[in-house]
Amino acid sequence: MMRAIFAVIVTSMLAAPGIADTPAPPIDLNQLGFEPSDAKVAILRAKDSLPLDWTLVDSAGHVLLRGKTQAIGKDGASGEELQRIDFSAVEAPGEGYRLIVAGASSDAFAIRKKLYRPLAKDAAAFFYHQRAGVPIEAKLVGAGWARPAGHAREIVTCFAGTDERGLKWPGCSYRLDVTGGWYDAGDHGKYVVNGGIALWTLLNAYERRPTAFADGSLKIPEAGNGVSDLLDEARYEMAFLLRMQVPQGMHAKLPVGPFKPVKPGQSPWEADAADLDDIDAGGMAHQKVADRFWTALPTPPQDDRQERLLYPPTTAATLNLAATAAQCARLWRGVDDGFAARCRAAAERAWRAALRNPQVYATNSFTGSGGYGDTQLSDEFYWAAAELFATTGEAAYLEALRRSPHFGAQVEEPGWPSTATLGTITLAIAAPKLPAADVKRLRGAILDAADRFLANSKGNGYGIPYRASDYPWGSNSALLNRAMLLGLAHDFTGEAKYRAGVVATIDYLLGRNPLSQSYVSGFGARAMRNPHHRFWAHSLDARLPGPPPGVLSGGPNSTAMSDDVAAKMKGKCAPQKCWADDIRAYALNEVAINWNAPLVWVAAWLDS
């Protein structure tokens, strides 16, 4: 596959010394380049606020444009004195452009159409690399990234024994075949709640533009079957989520609310001793399947020898299944009617189970995997009702929506613990039986959010649609989820300002940041090379590869600096600089399916 001329090509070895190892110039810009008609902005890290002359030259050194920098001032998020360079007037396609300011030269970049198509495809290819249960084939990914199947036949039962809190879990009387699905991140866990939002995002990208990933456009085993490759990849995860559903008639002993008030971030039932109640768990979804204990770095999936277990069903996981299975039923209708019917039946069964068991919360008291605890489930109920209504048009789901506090409420960027916005998006674009007045109101809420995000861009020096204070775990994903809403605002209105906000986001991720760092492997002069991952671990084992192109780092994190690398930086870095390209830095440089999914959405949107 052809890549941008200035992309660092990631191989199974660490990148050879060269431009990726050279000091970053003080001119920060999108290291891939720009579409001809898009805004083109670079940021200069300067010593003071005095305007400076700048020159844009082509690959032969011919001057194309001159101007003066515009002072921004001291920027809190980056800790830098910044100046702005706007060269949007240049639209002529070409390669090897450079900006020159005060004797410093920027990285070379391109101006051309379809700039983001390779990024969209490689970001989507990430999910094939993350598949469990099947070998990753050399003919599709290259010899460096090929590997045997991890957890090829995964038939498991429930966790039984004492958790870290001292609570005894009895296990269950059944075993489930949960082979397949995507590994969640750099570990070997497979999680329904994180799989849910990642799957929804890919399916929403398809629903918005079904032709974006035509059959044969991705290198996956299903290519050539006459179905969109994005649908094929999504189906691999959807099939896994369906396998995580508790069989009908099964009972389980689980902590059931209501519980005492708790501190923010604490699971509600953790506030007291939490006896386990016997409930009808049929139709619920298990929270995750994962190792009993954490595996070491590095451990390729096929070498994982830890005991694999199902962990207790939760209401949140059940509603994630209800939402995505309803979305599946809608999108596979006419593509594979049998699969669509199976998804609808599972969605309706999950919805009934969640109504029956509305307060079964996740716990972080199991080692070996992430907890994904969630203290507020009204957003998941709203999201699931929205997907079911969009698919079925049934009045009962519309009534549930109208009772929800999220129906028409202020919209924020979505995340795995805050999924209400996903429901609003679906109702705004894919619910034919929703009254027009409601559609207008919900689209208005999305536009209001987009305008707030654009206002945020005026409060930080790098001009991104984000708050300028602290940066959370996975900040790059939060920024991309904002860009997704900006893209929808542009779809609704056609206003250029919203596309400019999306472009500013991708500019930041591909180099227009104070580290002059591309956070996407394989794209840019200084692309991320050492993610927290148990297989893409060349820095720990020379026999293993680095990341394939198109993998997104979680990015700066100034709020939860929990790993050893981040801990040494705590209190010593401006929020946008709290990052390191280090495999040990899981708080800064982890990768995850719910982070790469909005990269696929945004890159495909830019390409459209």
590 is catalytic: yes
Taking alpha carbons only, the member of 141, 197, 288, 116 closest to residue 595 is 197
Give the separation between CA 458 and CA 106, rounded to whole angstroms: 24
Selected catalytic residue, list 154, 380, 491, 590: 590
Altogether, the residues listed in the chain come to a count of 608
Give the separation between CA 465 and CA 453, rounded to whole angstroms: 5
Answer whether 123's CB lies under 8 Å from 117's CB. Answer: no
- Three-state SS string across 67-97, please? EECEEEEEECCCCEEEEEEECCCCCCCEEEE
Which residues lie below 8 Å from residue 88, measured CB to CB, with a gap of 6+? 38, 39, 40, 41
Q: Tell me how far the alpha carbon of residue 579 is from its chain's centroid.
A: 18
- Three-state SS string across 313-329, please? EEHHHHHHHHHHHHHHH
Answer whether 124's CB lies under 8 Å from 213's CB. Answer: yes
Which residues lie below 8 Å from residue 13, measured CB to CB, with a gap of 6+? 144, 538, 542, 545, 546
Burial label, 428 (beta-carbon count in 10 A; 0-12, 13-18, 19+): buried
Answer whether 361's CB lies under 8 Å from 317's CB. Answer: no
Taking alpha carbons only, the member of 331, 301, 188, 319 closest to residue 244 is 319
Number of neighbours of residue 307 by Cβ within 10 angstroms: 11
Number of neighbours of residue 209 by Cβ within 10 angstroms: 15
Place of tokens 């990914």: 141
Number of neighbours of residue 304 by Cβ within 10 angstroms: 17
Give the separation between CA 379 and CA 381, rounded to whole angstroms: 5
Handedness of CA 170, 174, 179, 181 (dihedral sign): negative
Element housing 308 (H / E):
strand 308-314
Taking alpha carbons only, the member of 485, 190, 146, 148 closest to residue 310 is 190
Taking alpha carbons only, the member of 534, 551, 529, 546 closest to residue 595 is 551
SS3 call for 448:
helix
Amino acid at 255: P
Rounded to 10 degrees, the C-alpha dihedral 443/445/448/450 comes to -70
Selected catalytic residue, list 35, 75, 154, 187: 187
Amino acid at 516: S
532 is catalytic: yes
187 is catalytic: yes
Selected catalytic residue, list 291, 379, 581, 607: 581
Selected catalytic residue, list 532, 533, 538, 607: 532
251 is catalytic: no
SS3 call for 20:
helix
Answer whether 399's CB lies under 8 Å from 410's CB. Answer: no
Give the separation between CA 494 and CA 286, rounded to whole angstroms: 42
Please identify every residue annotated as catalytic: 187, 532, 581, 590
